[in-house]
């Protein structure tokens, strides 16, 4: 049965409750739109309330304004090109590994299993590279972070702001050897939804890797080894159900629509994202994207400065102006509500297509009209 650890609509699946439970009786199960929610095994529960006490929704963590803002990218071209924005996450991770520490971040494992993993070497950092536009499963990583910290290791944890809040709550604060980097985040679909989409477009073909971005372009690539099995393109608007539902905010977890971290005050040492809306005065080419880097603490600023990044100082106001999620969470509208009502009955493909039926019809009419015109031009040209 679902438990009232916190208000169901606020639960972010940070998994602090799973990690803290002394009886190991809290487990995550799929709920609305395939999102994970904590369920408790009442037979094993000793009613210690540790899960309720650790939940960041019950005792919110302190948020702080950024010190300043940087636009920037990795100094090494190959790292810059293979990262999502400017490769800030990769640069910070390399710094911590080179200092003998470990890094926790999100990887895409076999069978489209998107989850946080622990990395302790340069080569495996490649697994973390790239945004996975889906909620990363946390499992028992917080316990592992705790034991690394206890062993005196430097630990860098990279994740969404709600995951950072969960970890801070679980640790009752932040020891000196823990570095926290959060992503600007506009919301997460569930892994189950992504798996459903992959099955819809590829049947049972084996997928070994997924990519969600190419430079600044939003596209979904499904690969088996180096072979591209499927490629969506957002230029083909409304045609890839998963990506478009994500971009338009139809498929987020319920808590994303009331996210307390979608604002300029932040939860970590450094916030990173895309530097959308850089002013015209910037004038420096950045063909493979640009990171927005917001140091929140002195410790974060120090991590930025000792990492391999080309940096340009900008203002926090400019960063906030260009990025909706540094101001407020995504607001629900009629279409979002419609999709969420249709999904349990029809599944992703048809729930999405019905939700955007008008837009799809309009596209079809444009194509037909264009086709007729082209045919006329060709005919006319032939007659002449």
Residues that bind ligand FAD (CB under 6 A): 83-90, 105-106, 128-134, 136, 158-160, 183-186, 188, 272-274, 291-292, 323, 325
Residue closer to ligand FAD (CB basis): 132 or 314: 132
* Beta carbon of residue 130, minimum distance to ligand FAD (angstroms, whole number): 5
CB nearer to ligand FAD: give 84 or 195.
Answer: 84
Q: Is 261 exposed, middle or buried (0-12, 13-18, 19+ CB in 10 A)?
A: buried
CB of 46 to ligand FAD, least distance (A): 32
CB of 354 to ligand FAD, least distance (A): 25
The nearer residue to ligand FAD, 10 or 272, going by C-beta atoms, is: 272
Q: Which is nearer to ligand FAD, 79 or 241 (CB)?
A: 79
At 308, list the tokens.
């391999």
DSSP annotation string for 112-175 = TEEEEEEE-STGGGGGT-S--SSPPB-TTHHHHHHHHHHTT--EEEEE-HHHHHHHHHHHTS--
The nearest distance, CB 135 to ligand FAD, in angstroms, is 6
Of 106 and 303, the one with the shorter C-beta distance to ligand FAD is: 106
Q: Shortest Cβ distance from residue 183 to ligand FAD (Å)?
A: 4
CB of 360 to ligand FAD, least distance (A): 25
Element (H, E) at 74: strand 69-74
Specify the residue, 21 or 183, whose C-beta has the smaller distance to ligand FAD: 183
CB of residue 127 to ligand FAD, shortest distance in Å: 9
Least Å distance, CB 184 to ligand FAD, is: 4
State how far the Cα of 191 lies from the Cα of 246, in Å rounded to an integer.
12
Report the residue number, 3 or 133, with the smaller CB distance to ligand FAD: 133
Q: Measured between alpha carbons, how far is 37 from 15 in angstroms, rounded to an integer? A: 9
- Strands of the sheet containing 178-183, edge to edge, are 113-119, 102-109, 155-159, 178-183, 270-274, 291-295, 69-74, 309-314
Tokens of 152: 């005196």
Q: Are 231 and 220 in contact (CB under 8 A)?
A: yes
In the bound state with ligand FAD, the residue whose beta carbon lies nearer, of 40 and 70, is: 70
* DSSP annotation string for 7-39: -GGG-----HHHHH-TT--EEEEE-GGG-EEEE
The phi, psi pair for 296, rounded to 5°, reads -105, -35
The sign of the torsion formed by the CA atoms of 165, 169, 170, 175 equals positive
Q: Which is nearer to ligand FAD, 3 or 13 (CB)?
A: 13
Query: What do you get for the CA distance between the two ends of the chain, in Å?
Result: 75
* Cβ(244)–Cβ(356) below 8 Å: yes
3-class secondary structure, 109:
strand
Between 161-171 and 141-150, two packed helices, what is the crossing angle to 10 degrees? 50
Residue number with the shortest CB distance to ligand FAD? 105
**Euclidean distance between CA atoms 143 and 59, whole angstroms:** 20
CB of 252 to ligand FAD, least distance (A): 9
């Amino acid at each position: 049965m679902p438990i009232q650890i916190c208000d169901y609509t606020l639960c972010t699946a940070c998994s602090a409750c799973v990690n803290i439970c002394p009886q190991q009786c809290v487990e995550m199960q799929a709920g609305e739109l395939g999102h994970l929610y904590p369920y408790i095994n009442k037979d094993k529960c000793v009613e210690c309330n540790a899960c309720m006490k650790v939940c960041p929704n019950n005792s919110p963590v302190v948020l702080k304004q950024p010190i300043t803002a940087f636009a920037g990218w990795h100094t090494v071209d190959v790292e810059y090109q293979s990262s999502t924005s400017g490769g800030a996450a990769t640069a910070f991770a390399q710094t911590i590994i080179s200092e003998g520490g470990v890094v926790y971040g999100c990887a895409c494992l076999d069978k489209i299993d998107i989850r946080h993993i622990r990395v302790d070497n340069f080569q495996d950092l490649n697994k973390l590279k790239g945004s996975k536009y889906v909620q990363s499963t946390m499992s028992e990583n917080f316990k592992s972070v705790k034991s690394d910290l206890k062993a005196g290791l430097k630990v860098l944890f990279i994740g969404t702001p709600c995951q950072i809040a969960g970890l801070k709550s679980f640790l009752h604060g932040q020891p000196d050897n823990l570095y926290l980097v959060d992503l600007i985040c506009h919301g997460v679909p569930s892994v189950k939804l992504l798996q459903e989409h992959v099955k819809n477009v590829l049947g049972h073909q084996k997928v070994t890797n997924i990519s969600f971005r190419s430079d600044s372009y939003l596209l979904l690539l499904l690969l088996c080894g180096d072979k591209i099995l499927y490629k969506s393109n957002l230029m083909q608007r409304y045609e890839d159900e998963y990506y478009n539902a994500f971009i338009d905010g139809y498929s987020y977890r319920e808590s994303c629509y009331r996210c307390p971290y979608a604002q300029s005050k932040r939860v970590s040492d450094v916030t990173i994202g895309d530097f959308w809306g850089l002013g015209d005065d910037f004038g420096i080419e950045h063909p493979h994207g640009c990171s927005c880097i917001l140091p929140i603490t002195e410790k974060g600023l120090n991590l930025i400065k000792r990492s391999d990044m080309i940096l340009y100082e900008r203002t926090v106001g400019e960063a906030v102006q260009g990025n909706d999620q540094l101001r407020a969470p995504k607001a629900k509208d009629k279409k979002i509500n419609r999709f969420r009502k249709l999904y349990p009955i029809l599944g992703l493909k048809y729930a999405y297509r019905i939700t955007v039926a008008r837009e799809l019809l309009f596209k079809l009419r444009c194509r037909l009209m264009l086709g007729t015109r082209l045919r006329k031009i060709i005919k006319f040209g032939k007659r002449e």
